[in-house]
Amino acid sequence: MSSSSSSELEMEIFQYIDGHQSDFIKDLKEWVAVQSDSVQPDLRKEVIRMMVLVADRLAALGATVNSVNLGSHQLPNGQDLPLPPVILGELGRDPQNPTVCFYGHVDVQPAKKEDGWKTDPYTLTEINGNLYGRGATDNKGPVLAWINAVETFRALKLVVNFKFVIEGMEEAGSLGLEKLLEEENQCFFSDVDYIVISDNVWLSNKKPALTYGSRGNACFFVEVECGGKDLHSGTFGGIIHEPLTDLIALLDSLVDPTGHIQIPGIYDSVAALTEEERKLYESIEFDLEEHKKNSGVKKFLYGTKEEILLHLWHYPSLSIHGIEGAFHEPGIKTVIPSKVIGKFSIRQVPHMDLSVVKQQVVEHLEGVFSRRNSPNKLKVSMPLGAKPWLADVNDPLYKAARRAIKKVFGEDPDFIRDGSTVPVARMFQTITRKSVIMFPIGAADDGEHSQNEKISRHNYIEGTKVFASFFLEISKLHRHLHETSNMEIKN
């Protein structure tokens, strides 16, 4: 395609996207309305219903769709729960075109209006140019932006062959996905050239970014149990070892007030900080005050941008998420719970080994517990473990995405890492050995996992354009790379 016909096509595509804004927002509203929360077992049927909507949407695009059944999984209480299917889709098979596989997820984190949402989390609501709703940015909005961009091309001209992997268990650790990728490696993925994930956000509220690394996550349950039933605190308080007191001591032993993890050995294999990496953190544009404002907290653990980035990207962190079995409703209940489960996770970084981390956590907790001389029962498990990911920014994928961003947003992107985890990034890299990029369209103030999650109308629509522009750029670059390698072979 000549460069003039390519830019004419791009103009037409951008016009098409601008002209279809309300349809695109209507689709997002329909998707956000589904309570596809993969964390709460009661809502699993909603996740499955969501997967049907995705399959229908891809079929309407003209894609071949395969809903792959992953069977079921067992909850800690022994209950069997069906896993939602993974949708594998395919559109276009022109051998002249590169094949780009897009990964996204359509399950969401839990959300209730009472948690402090200003609007109903499952009713997409536009206020001052922002589209509020659970999943708006994580990850239904970006998945739809990609689909919108594909639809635009299908309506005009296909320059890329598309593949889709859409799952419904990402927020619960992508259960069953790794096995499917292994099974499909020689089939579905055999002709894939590039893999794109758009499941994180920029470092800034306004400046676009491309992500080349993310942390992993090791999630733990620590269970303490006394007898088989809850007890009256007046009748038994003061004469027994209370499970919640044990648990609080255990949780308190994990991290000190400076944020330093107290588990012996945990920092041993963290990759050494190179001079190059240190310089990168110094040179990156990052507004600490904006980040603080986005979080709503008054003070961070560290005072400089370099320290903050190091502790988000280079070092592991430990967060405590909750306690199952402890009384948490309003009011007073004078009970001693008989069994409590503490939940925490460690975001790990390159070179940390999941099985070593697990062993260090278990040994540490058993040691603290044994020093308490408690007769209670302790159980530590790691229900989930996702590995960190790091990519090569010299890959053509990054070049194409950078050009598309420059065209649509008028500026060069930040090259960033992400403190959160997309378990599939590392799986794709290890299993398929294809190049992977994280290409976010959401902004730093989108509030992923938080109350009042949103994506701005601007980011949703310009994000659709940036994906469309990326299709043109990757198709040009891919052809160029092939022509040059063919010439080298002939010479």
- The residues of the shown chain that bind ligand L7UNP4BN, judged by CB under 6 A, are 138-139, 170-171, 173, 199-200, 217, 219, 384, 386, 420-422, 448
Q: How far is the CB of 477 from Zn ion (least distance, A)?
A: 27
Residue 28's nearest CA partner among 99, 131, 176, 175 is 131
Q: How far is the CB of 450 from Zn ion (least distance, A)?
A: 10
Residue 177's nearest CA partner among 275, 71, 76 is 71
Distance CA(220)–CA(465), nearest Å, equals 40
164 within 8 A of 102, measured Cβ to Cβ: yes
Distance CA(95)–CA(352), nearest Å, equals 40
Distance CA(340)–CA(323), nearest Å, equals 7
Q: Is 171 annotated as a binding residue?
A: yes
**Which of residues 215 and 403 has its CB atom nearest to ligand L7UNP4BN in the complex?**
215
Q: How many CA atoms lie within 13 A of 91 on its CB side?
A: 24
Distance CA(128)–CA(126), nearest Å, equals 7
Check residue 446 for interaction with Zn ion (CB under 5 A).
no
Q: How far is the CB of 174 from ligand L7UNP4BN (least distance, A)?
A: 8
Q: Which amino acid is at 26?
A: K
Check residue 37 for interaction with Zn ion (CB under 5 A).
no
Q: Which residues are catalytic?
A: 107, 170
351 within 8 A of 426, measured Cβ to Cβ: no
Q: Is 311 annotated as a binding residue?
A: no
* Residue 47 binding target from ligand L7UNP4BN, Zn ion, none, CB below 5 to 8 Å by type: none
Q: Is 18 annotated as a binding residue?
A: no
Check residue 199 for interaction with Zn ion (CB under 5 A).
yes
Stretch that binds Zn ion, among 19-27, 138-146, 152-160, 188-196 (CB under 5 A): 138-146
Q: How far is the CB of 122 from ligand L7UNP4BN (least distance, A)?
A: 18
Site string for Zn ion, 87-126 (x = CB under 5 A): ----------------------------------------
Q: How far is the CB of 415 from Zn ion (least distance, A)?
A: 20
**Which of residues 10 and 199 has its CB atom nearest to Zn ion in the complex?**
199
**Which of residues 47 and 244 has its CB atom nearest to ligand L7UNP4BN in the complex?**
47
11-15: long-range contacts (C-beta < 8 A, 24 or more apart)?
12/156, 13/152, 13/153, 13/156, 13/465, 13/468, 13/469, 14/465, 14/468
- To 5 degrees, how large is the angle CA 168–CA 171–CA 172? 90
What stretches of 429-468 adopt beta strand conformation (E)? 435-438, 454-456
106 within 8 A of 84, measured Cβ to Cβ: no
**Which of residues 391 and 472 has its CB atom nearest to ligand L7UNP4BN in the complex?**
391
**Which of residues 63 and 318 has its CB atom nearest to ligand L7UNP4BN in the complex?**
318
Binding residues for Mn(2+): 105, 138, 171, 199, 449
Q: Footprint of Zn ion on this chain (CB under 5 A)?
A: 138-139, 199
Binding residues: 105, 138, 171, 199, 449
